[in-house]
């Protein structure tokens, strides 16, 4: 498409400025962020260098939708100004090249980076947000264990029962320290519970039942046990564990109500 020497030259100069600006701005952001949060997040949590690199790599993915267009805009302006100062634009127009053709390399770069941002939002951003949240959760868990502070969360099941849990491990995709309140008289306790396995599987399982004297007693225990009767509502599970901002664009599109569904609901 872009076969002319001057077109490749425009692209090369724009990309050089783009990468320079991106590196400088994000490097400055990393320095400021690290310095301002060093006491609260990095030093106290004793993050290793590998964790820091992963953390700021994820941060770049999270902020690419702002950083990339801004850097590309500055790079384009700088390249055009430089060409104008050296009268290269005038020379190209004098040789019979129209202004539309002169701008073609910049339009090509704009479309290319638009596709890259879309690919980043669709494929990289959800994983980066999940990894970033997992890292924050791990540090919060360490802090809570140190301060002896624990919080209870819950998710509903299809049969109307409730699962209580301390936290969800996104890396292992399992609940930690969970209690399935199957009924008023029956409770299952799990050290770890994997809701996405078919059927859901628990590790370190304890079964409690209410006795005639109205007290709960542990009647059996298992190292591991599957629960085919435990039915999770996948939509509720996804909404509970994963905020909408951490989902890809295609997943969000699938979750939108279709016109037929809207029409059927309005008719009701």
Tell me the per-residue pLDDT of 18-30, one tens digit each, with 9 for 90 and over. Answer: 999 999 999 999 9
pTM of the model: 0.63
Higher pLDDT, 140 or 103: 103
How confident is the model over 208-221, as a mean pLDDT? Answer: 93
Q: Are 80 and 11 in contact (CB under 8 A)?
A: no
- Where in the sequence is the domain holding 15, given as residue range(s)? 5-36+50-142
Confidence of residue 154 (pLDDT cuts 50, 70, 90): confident
Do 69 and 189 lie in one domain? The reply is no
Asked which of 116, 142, 168 is the last residue of a domain, the reply is 142
Do 134 and 214 lie in one domain? The reply is no
Within-domain flag for 41: no
Do 233 and 169 lie in one domain? The reply is yes
Q: To the nearest 10°, the Cα dihedral for 219, 224, 229, 235?
A: 130
Within-domain flag for 263: no
Q: Are 150 and 144 in contact (CB under 8 A)?
A: yes
**Alpha carbon distance 47, 32 (integer Å):** 17
For 197-227, give one letter per residue: b (16+ CB within 10 A) or e. eeebbbeebbbbeeeeeeeeeeeeeeeebeb
Within-domain flag for 253: no
Our count of domains for the chain comes to: 2
| E-state strands within the chain | 153-156, 162-169, 174-183, 186-194, 201-210, 216-226
Within-domain flag for 257: no
Do 135 and 191 lie in one domain? The reply is no
Do 84 and 200 lie in one domain? The reply is no
**Alpha carbon distance 129, 57 (integer Å):** 11
Do 188 and 228 lie in one domain? The reply is yes
Do 105 and 160 lie in one domain? The reply is no
Q: Are 67 and 26 in contact (CB under 8 A)?
A: yes
Do 9 and 111 lie in one domain? The reply is yes
User: Which residues lie closer than 8 Å to 225 by C-beta, 6 or more apart?
Assistant: 201, 202, 205
Tell me the per-residue pLDDT of 132-147, one tens digit each, with 9 for 90 and over. Answer: 777 766 665 555 555 5
Percentage of residues of the chain with pLDDT beyond 70: 80
Report residue 211: phi and psi, to 5°. Answer: -90, 170
What is the predicted pLDDT for the residue at 110? Answer: 96
Q: Is the pLDDT of residue 101 over 90?
A: yes
Average pLDDT score over the chain: 84
Asked which of 142, 161, 183 is the last residue of a domain, the reply is 142
Within-domain flag for 228: yes
Q: Are 125 and 113 in contact (CB under 8 A)?
A: no
Within-domain flag for 248: no
- Closest Cα to residue 78, out of 158, 15, 1, 160? 15
Q: How far, rounded to the nearest angstrom, does the alpha carbon of residue 35 sit from its chain's CA centroid?
A: 24
């Amino acid at each position: 498409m872009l076969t002319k020497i001057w077109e490749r030259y425009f692209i090369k100069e724009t990309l050089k400025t783009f990468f320079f600006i991106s590196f400088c701005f994000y490097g400055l952001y990393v320095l400021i962020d690290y310095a301002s949060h060093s006491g609260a997040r990095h030093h106290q949590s004793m993050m290793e260098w590998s964790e820091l690199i992963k953390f700021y790599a994820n941060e770049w993915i999270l902020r690419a939708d702002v950083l990339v267009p801004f850097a590309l805009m500055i790079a384009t302006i700088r390249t055009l100004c430089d060409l104008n100062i050296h009268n290269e634009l005038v020379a190209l127009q004098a040789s019979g090249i129209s202004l539309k053709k002169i701008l073609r390399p910049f339009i090509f770069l704009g479309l290319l980076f638009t596709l890259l941002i879309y690919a980043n939002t669709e494929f990289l951003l959800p994983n980066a947000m999940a990894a970033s949240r997992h890292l924050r959760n791990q540090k919060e868990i360490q802090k809570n264990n140190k301060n002896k502070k624990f919080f209870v969360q819950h998710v509903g099941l299809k049969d109307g029962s409730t699962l209580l849990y301390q936290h969800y491990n996104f890396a292992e995709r399992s609940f930690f320290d969970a209690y399935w309140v199957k009924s008023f008289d029956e409770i299952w306790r799990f050290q770890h519970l994997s809701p996405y396995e078919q059927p859901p599987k628990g590790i370190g399982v304890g079964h409690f039942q209410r006795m005639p004297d109205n007290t709960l007693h542990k009647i059996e225990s298992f190292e591991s046990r599957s629960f085919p009767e435990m039915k999770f509502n996948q939509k509720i599970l996804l909404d509970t564990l994963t905020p909408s901002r951490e989902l890809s664009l295609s997943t969000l599109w699938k979750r939108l109500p279709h016109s037929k569904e809207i029409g059927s609901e309005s008719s009701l």
